[in-house]
Amino acid sequence: MKTHKVEQLIIAAVAFFWCFLMWFATAAFAPSIVVEFSLTKAQFGILASSALWAAPILRPVAGYLADRIGAPKSFAIVLFFTGIMSIVSAYAESYAAIFVTRALVAIAGIAFVIGIQHVAQWFEEEEMGAAEGLYAGTGNAGAGMGMLILPRIYGTDYSSAFLHLGVVALVIGVWVLVRGVSAKSAEQADMAKSTATLRDTAFVWTRFAAIALMFAYAMSFGLEIGMNAWLSGYYKMGFEDAIRQLGFSSIRDVQIAAGTFGAVQSFNASLFRPFSGYMSDLWQRKNWMPFPIISKSLQYSPRIHWLMFALLAITITMIALTIAGLSGNVVISVLILALFGITVSFGTGGTFAIVPLMFKKRPGTATGFIGGVSCLGGVIYPLVYGGVENIHMGYAYVAVFFFIPFMLFFAWAMHWDIHPEDHGIGKKEGWLGK
Amino acid sequence: MGGGSISQEGVTYEPWYKWGVLVLYLEMLGAVGVCIYSLYMAFTGTGGFPGKGH
């Protein structure tokens, strides 16, 4: 079948966008669901967190699957399954049925690794940053778009929204199957397939470079999804008086203001992500390598230095969020939050401008590990934020006790000048038996 | 996808690349727009889409 890599990029981006739209559709209608089923705060908390349960476990499986059977078939499986579940959820009448079906729809969040693998199979090294950035940024925007648009189109009629989202997912699934092609050449597809074994998976999971990139992604994407779940509550609890002074008097108004502040982070973290891919390309072209310890000899070393810069920026803005919170000034806090979202996008885009290059023979397996396990950050950080006495201090604690050690490990794991992806726990020959 | 390939500092890009970079800029403009809209809505208490107060 005649195709072009840009068509394959569009297919991946649209499929991923729709999956993310379905993933966060539950959150978009949470107020209506809470009222209709009279949920307690604890029940709502479990419903909200259930959206993140599948990712750490199933994203690695999705990466393995993409390498074995190709991204188009993998995308189609996810779209068909979650689309049907979304349609079923539209007819759910009890809370238990809503909870189970929406938790199953949340499996759509695993689609990310499939598309990353697909783009890696089609694009050249020098254009990888922009291509992966375009794919991931556009797709991630589905989450923010859902929160912003869906309640305004459907009001409180979430059942119609779930039904329509599911039907369109099925249509996209058919389109992906008809027009999607696994790789630019049969050799490329066969190479990915031949390395998708349990031995290779264990090999990748024990590589220091893969662990370091997983930490980098936990500092960016894991942080992003954790903040999505946390920020509305943070602004309500941490700035309630300041928000009321702005004129938002009722609980509903305070919630709208708090939710809108949170959306600033979500949109910036998503839509500036392609810019990060472009910046990674730029650092590569300009050969910028300012940091000590990290290798300067690898073909893609400047991209690693760009990611290190991004991780530093994330850590600094996390501490700035604490300082802004302690000042009690909501305007400063929101402005720093906007900047924070951009630095998060630097980290997410910067990580996946490296993964396909460093793990060229195992793109799906590596993406599954890095993109999957890092999601645990989204579960852990909010627990820290909520566990400290002063609600504003959590960001600084996470920055100091999680992010600084992560960065030190990252710099060390990237110091090898030759094949850093081969160093890890146990020797390559031992894991791969070659 | 017409047009010839682009050469920047020794690296030759295919024609799609310039359009890809254009999309990147448009997406960033979109993000800035959403920020402005969100801040306006949050600070004024108005601006519910499509253009009505809440």
Would the pLDDT of B49 be above 60? no
| Category of A70 on φ-ψ map: left (φ > 0), alpha (ψ -120 to 50) or beta | left
| Top CATH class, A197-426 | mainly alpha
Select the residue of B28, B43, B50 nearest A271 (Cβ to Cβ): B28
Q: For residue B9, is it within any domain?
A: no
Tell me the nearest-neighbour CA distance from A6 into chain B, angstroms: 7
Q: According to CATH, what is the number of the domain A1-196? A: 1.20.1250.20
CB contact under 8 A, A271 and B54: no
Would the pLDDT of B6 be above 80? no
Percent of chain A as helix, strand, coil, to the nearest 5: 80, 0, 20
Domain with CATH 1.20.1250.20 in chain A: 1-196, 197-426
| Cβ of residue B31 closer than 8 Å to a chain A Cβ | yes
Q: Which two tokens stand for residue A144?
A: 């923010």
Instruction: Provide the domain limits for residue B20.
Output: 15-41
Would the pLDDT of B51 be above 50? no
Q: For residue B3, is it within any domain?
A: no
Each of the 434 residues of chain A gets a pLDDT tens digit; together they read 788 899 999 999 999 999 988 987 887 777 678 778 887 756 766 776 677 778 888 888 888 888 889 999 999 999 999 999 999 999 998 889 998 999 899 899 889 889 988 998 888 877 877 888 788 888 887 877 777 778 778 877 889 999 999 999 999 999 999 999 988 877 777 777 776 677 888 888 899 999 999 999 999 999 988 787 677 667 777 887 877 777 766 655 665 666 677 778 878 888 888 778 778 888 999 999 999 999 999 999 999 999 999 999 999 999 999 999 999 888 888 889 989 999 999 999 899 889 888 988 887 788 888 988 898 887 788 778 877 888 899 999 999 999 999 999 999 999 999 999 889 998 877 777 76
Q: For residue B32, is it within any domain?
A: yes
| CA B26/CA A410 separation, integer angstroms | 32
| Cβ of residue B26 closer than 8 Å to a chain A Cβ | no
**Higher pLDDT among residues B34 and A80, named by residue:** A80
Select the residue of B28, B49, B54 nearest A272 (Cβ to Cβ): B28
Q: DSSP label at A181?
A: -
Contacts of A264 in chain B (CB under 8 A): 34-35, 38-39
| Cβ of residue B41 closer than 8 Å to a chain A Cβ | yes
Would the pLDDT of B47 be above 60? no
Q: For residue B21, is it within any domain?
A: yes
| CA A142/CA A240 separation, integer angstroms | 29
| CA A292/CA A296 separation, integer angstroms | 9
Half-sphere exposure of A376 (CA within 13 A, CB side): 11
Q: How many angstroms from the chain centroid is the CA of residue A147? A: 16
Query: pLDDT band at residue B54, thresholds of 50, 70 and 90?
Result: very low
Size of interface A-B (CB pairs under 8 A): 89
Give the CA radius of gyration of chain B: 19
ipTM: 0.76
Comparing CA positions, the residue from A270, A256, A244 lying closest to residue A330 is A244
Tell me the nearest-neighbour CA distance from B4 into chain A, angstroms: 16
Domains in chain B: how many in total?
A: 1
| Tally of CB atoms within 10 A around B4 | 8
